[in-house]
Amino acid sequence: MLAGLLLGPSGIGQIEMFSKRFLTNASMHAVNTLALFGLMFFLFISSLKMDIRVINRIKRKEWAIGIVAFLVPTVLTFPMSFFLKRYAQNDQLSNYLPYIAILNSLTSLHSSTSILSEHNLLNSELAHIANGSSTISGLFAWSALLLSLYYERSKGRPNVTSLFLPLVASTIGLIIFTICVLRPIATWMIRKTPEGKPLKDIFLLIIFFMVLGCSFLSESLGLTPFFGPLLLGFVIPDGPPIGSAFADKLDCIVSEIFLPLYFLRIGNRINIYVIQPNTFWILEVIILLGLFGKLIGVMVPAMYFDMPFGDSFALGLTLCSLGIVDVHFYSRALTEKMINTEIFTTMIVSALILTGCISPVVKFLYHPSRSYRALKKRTVQHSRQNVELRILSCVYSQDDVPTILNLLEASNPNRDSPIGVYVIHLVELMGRATPLFITHKPQKSRVSHSTPPTQSDRIINAFRIFEQQNQGFVTLQSFTSISCFVTIHDDVCTIAGTRKTSIVIIPFHKQWGNEDATELTKCRNVNNKILDKAPCSVGILIDRGILTGTRSLLASWSCYRVGVIFLGGPDDREALAYAMRMADHPNVNVTVVRIIGERDKNYAALERKQDNDMINEYRLENVGSEKSLYKEEEVTDCIGTVNIIRSLENSFDLIMVGRQHPEASRLLPDLTELDLYRELGFIGDMLASSESKNSVSVLVVQQHSYGTEVRVPWSPLVT
């Protein structure tokens, strides 16, 4: 848009020689055609990514905020527009003021989603409320704007209703045709596309012509040519395969080629030299009054529903943000002669300044981690005995399920100490504009015979079978989070915080035999952010093959061998506390290997005492037990430590180890020398590296450390 400003009448377009040579009617006609074509597909893709069914899930709070956010600015600006007519120095401005008031009451879901996405807030509570509220407010505002547009077209006729009513009837007819004819066709295409497979090219071509046909039909009925594609996008089911297919095929072309041409067209329609002081101050009064009305309309009901003042203010600013949809409505109003170039220029410049100021303020005010920050330590070590141990298990794909299920079974669920299992399936957002968080209910988890089961269905059913096999010992709650992997950790941390889990189990990003580097990097980023933000302990489960299998290991094996490498520190104590719980299982053998050597003089005496107390507690609980052993190994340097760890690799089925070892800093190489998996610490990295030929699985544990600084050493490969 800035390029359009510079090239248009506000910039070098004022130079007659330049405008005659480069801004000719022929060249601008081609630019306008491509720009409007790109805008048509942009609106279609944007509406296609939106889930219209979200209206059924909107809560009372969001309904209240959305309705009041539309009513308050409308009630303030519409009467003010009639009051300001007496100060207008020309009749044209006086006639336009009511339409300007309606335009300033607009709220766009796309605009609020864009600003939240820019600051990685799509998974936050603020985003959930903003999406629902802006949807409701936008429906009312767009309806009012369409009725105003139809009234403006009919105003010059002797009988206003002679054109107004046919336009309304045409709109209703187009909606019915799209829902009853085009939506079933799109649904049939989805049914014919297997899960996980791309949409056929012939189906893409059919939908492409459907978009063009809807645009032609809406134009023929006297409506705007963009209404048909926008409506078609709303009625077609969002997400894969159609949404993801169009996002892959057209997003880049539309965003990188056609939309810049549209902004160039908008900038070419702006002329800052035609703005008069009288027009400017009258418009700014309405614009600022509309901004104030939106803020009040959002903040008052939000605070009524116990939302903090700072979060309410951030929510109000988010709904006040403007984007390409608002710019399109301004441009359409100019085309329909509801406003003139002077008013259009003032509104566009004000929108640029307003949005530029809102964005950094929202980022400064709202931090999603505050909603799940723990007020005390939540760890396995500090969990009370004979109380339910709550574990949150994250799953990326079906391949992660057997490993996690066998670890949960080894955790020894029993009547005296049951386990509460929370499972969240993490799915990357594709073909949708807003994240989707699904809470699965037991009665709705069964797969219908009429539709094939999805990957989430299969994952959740596997955990439900595990719950049934441990009836009375295990309780299950399952979720699916469909979101961008940049922010999906917020959903994981929110569940961990609200359910007060003691530990989060996350699969290691690398699965042996999987060479998909892009997918691995995304999963690694998620794991690192969970390590950083989680309000409880975290365990990274590395499966080298021994835990994988469809049968229960503990039911089919006479002995399951667990080893704990203990050097000292809170992470090692957490790993040992988890292993002590496993030691009570009749089919699990636990061996603790404590590596002793020269200690760091800076290591606190209290920490050393806690290490000794933890070891003594383990030894006292297992006195005389043949299945729970304790060994000590003395070393003098890091080479001795490495040799001991290598000797233990093939002695166990699962090795548990802490992520960091502050006491044994002299017994381990410098962590900065690691080139691969720094998030695992030295021992975890050594056991998970490709140089290691073992088949042992590893659980790397990080104990929750409330009130301390972030401990995740980020790799330069992970951004």
- CA atoms 254, 257, 262, 266: torsion sign: positive
**Residue-level pLDDT at 517:** 38
Positions of E strands within 57-197: none
Domains with residue ranges and CATH for the chain: 2-366 (1.20.1530.20), 389-446+453-702 (3.40.50.12370)
**Residue-level pLDDT at 507:** 92
Query: Element (H or E) spanning 412, and its range?
Result: none
Task: State the Cα angle at 588 between 583 and 590, rounded to 5°.
Answer: 55
**Cα gap 645→698, rounded to integer Å:** 12
The pTM (predicted TM-score) of the whole model is: 0.76
**CA–centroid distance for 60 within its chain:** 23
Cβ neighbours, 10 Å, residue 717: 11
DSSP 438-471: EEE-GGG-SPPTTSPPPHHHHHHHHHHHHHHHTT
In 3D space, the residue among 528, 573, 540 whose CA is nearest the CA of residue 710 turns out to be 528
**Residue-level pLDDT at 687:** 82
As given in the structure block, the two tokens for residue 698 are: 């590893």
Within 8 A by CB and 6+ apart from 623, the residues are: none
Query: What's the chain's length in residues?
Result: 719
Return the SS3 of 304.
helix
As given in the structure block, the two tokens for residue 20 are: 């005659």
Cα–Cα distances in angstroms (integers) from residue 225 to residues 147, 154, 228, in the given order: 16, 18, 6
Q: For 112-159, how does the pLDDT look when each residue is reduced to its tens digit (9 = 90+)? A: 888 887 787 877 888 888 888 888 888 888 788 777 777 766 665 555
> Any idea which residue has 């400003």 for tokens?
5
Do the beta carbons of residue 710 and residue 532 sit within 8 Å? yes
> Starting from the edge strand earliest in sequence, which strands make up the sheet with 503-507, in order?
436-440, 474-483, 419-428, 389-395, 503-507, 537-542, 697-702, 654-658, 560-566, 588-596, 628-634
Do the beta carbons of residue 622 and residue 585 sit within 8 Å? no
**Residue-level pLDDT at 550:** 42
**Cα gap 583→628, rounded to integer Å:** 7
Q: For 413-466, how does the pLDDT look when each residue is reduced to its tens digit (9 = 90+)? A: 888 889 999 999 998 887 666 788 888 877 544 444 555 677 888 899 999 999
Within 8 A by CB and 6+ apart from 336, the residues are: 149, 152, 153
- CA atoms 392, 483, 702, 379: torsion sign: negative
Cβ neighbours, 10 Å, residue 522: 19
Q: Please, what are the averages of pLDDT over each run of 10 residues along the chain (719 residues)? A: 69 68 70 83 81 74 90 90 84 81 81 81 82 84 77 62 71 88 88 79 87 87 81 81 74 79 82 85 90 91 89 89 84 82 87 86 80 74 84 90 89 88 89 78 54 80 89 90 87 89 90 53 88 90 63 56 88 91 87 78 73 88 82 82 82 88 64 66 79 76 67 35
**Cα gap 188→629, rounded to integer Å:** 61
Q: What is the 3-state secondary structure (H, E, C) of 85-118?
A: HHHCCCHHHHHHHHHHHHHCCCCCHHHHHHHHHH
